[in-house]
Amino acid sequence: MYDIASTVSRVANETYSHTRRIMPPQPWWEHLESSFHKFPDDFELDLRTEMTVEATAFGDLLLRTTGASMMNALAVPSSFQPRQLQRDAGNRAYYQRKADKADPDAFFKRPDSSRVAMHSASAGLLRFRPRDGSCRLLSFDSPFQAVNPKLREDYRKKKRNMRAVAQYWRHDDGPRPTIAVIHGFMADPYWMNRMFFALPWFYQQGYDILLFTLPHHGKRASRLSPFSGHGFFAGGTAHINESFAHAVHDFRIFLDWLESEGVSKVGVTGISLGGYTSALLASVEERLEFAIPNVPVVSLADLVLEWFPLNLSIKAMLKATGTSIREIRHELAVHSALTYPPRLPKERLMVIAGAGDRLAPPKHARLLWDHWDRPQIHWFPGNHLVHLDKGKYLKAMAAFMREIEFDRM
């Protein structure tokens, strides 16, 4: 049971002290219990808050089952074809060796931005319309090549995915310190993230905003994709690894461009899959001023073992191929924040998580919190999508940014 050393926002006067750490020694993929996905996500709460948390958790379970069923029907078949399974098995050792080095530079090579041409266009009818600035759509042809030479030809076949895009809000008297925001899985619309993160409010605080689109999402998705983000997980485990390498690569090119435009400070936050990516970026990119993953996951292999009915297909695949959960963890560890020490100091890290979240269960946030030596953490009494008392953690984020002097030019 969690007795969290932080505050659940609705019961701001109650704090929860605890000493037990759940982050295992390195290599974490070997020492994390194989039954981690079965660990409970309980909190010591007053009755009112517990009822709220349980109600939101039930809503997440319904949503999770729906999402898992969709993934099971539309993404899993292409990943579990015999040839695909054989290819993934043949590539597994390559990524495991990269993870063994525990050096992010071994997998996430710094891109050469010198020949990348950044394009700026109208951000569309639903764009943010600031009175004292502009909202533009930035894009460039990504020079990314798959890290594993065996995947390079196939990966580049998805032409739309090779066009990186981001929406950029800039003050007229800018550039200003810039908050980079990374969306969740299937949740790429800029207007949606603008509302969810109250980004106009942060803009009014004096920050510029960059909304980064992950590979295989939005304008980057293949025209025949059944949903945005389908291509991220539909090509097998090796393809997932390369998609994260691609995400980091393109984000760094945007970061290079912001620096060339005179931006001196950039911090990153993201939700769900974007939380996973923002935590990873804290392990890769030392130029960031802060990282605030929101409802993050840290082990995809363990996550899917909770997602019924997707977990049945995953377990069947593992059994049929004689593959252990530790082997899959090891392969996917190459892009997990747990594999690398953060390159940002503890004072510039913050975790936000929902006590009732069952899509990105609290135990994942706790693993990351432990791994980062327990920086600031804020628990809210809601689930993955319904962030009750969100205003309180948005204000906590703003206070955190002021505390580290991110607001100063």
CB contact at 8 A, 110 and 245: no
Rounded-to-10 torsion of CA 332, 334, 337, 340: 140
Query: For the chain, what's the residue count?
Result: 409
With respect to residue 203, please indicate whether it lies within any of the assigned structural domains: yes
Query: Tokens standing for 236?
Result: 């097998």
Count of domains observed in the chain: 1
Query: Tokens standing for 334?
Result: 């190459």
Work out the end-to-end distance of the chain between its first and last CA atoms, rounded to an integer number of angstroms.
43
With respect to residue 247, please indicate whether it lies within any of the assigned structural domains: yes
With respect to residue 2, please indicate whether it lies within any of the assigned structural domains: no
Percent of the chain with pLDDT over 90: 71
Question: At 49, which CATH number?
Answer: 3.40.50.1820
With respect to residue 312, please indicate whether it lies within any of the assigned structural domains: yes
With respect to residue 95, please indicate whether it lies within any of the assigned structural domains: yes
With respect to residue 1, please indicate whether it lies within any of the assigned structural domains: no
Q: What is the pLDDT of residue 1?
A: 42
Work out whether the CA dihedral 379, 307, 99, 244 comes out positive or negative: negative
Q: What is the pLDDT of residue 80?
A: 61
CB contact at 8 A, 131 and 171: no
CB contact at 8 A, 78 and 232: no
pLDDT tens for 93-105 read: 999 999 999 999 9
pLDDT tens for 5-42 read: 444 444 333 333 345 889 999 999 999 999 999 888 87
With respect to residue 21, please indicate whether it lies within any of the assigned structural domains: yes
User: Which residues in the chain land under pLDDT 50?
Assistant: 1-18
Residue span of the structural domain in which 62 resides: 7-403
With respect to residue 397, please indicate whether it lies within any of the assigned structural domains: yes
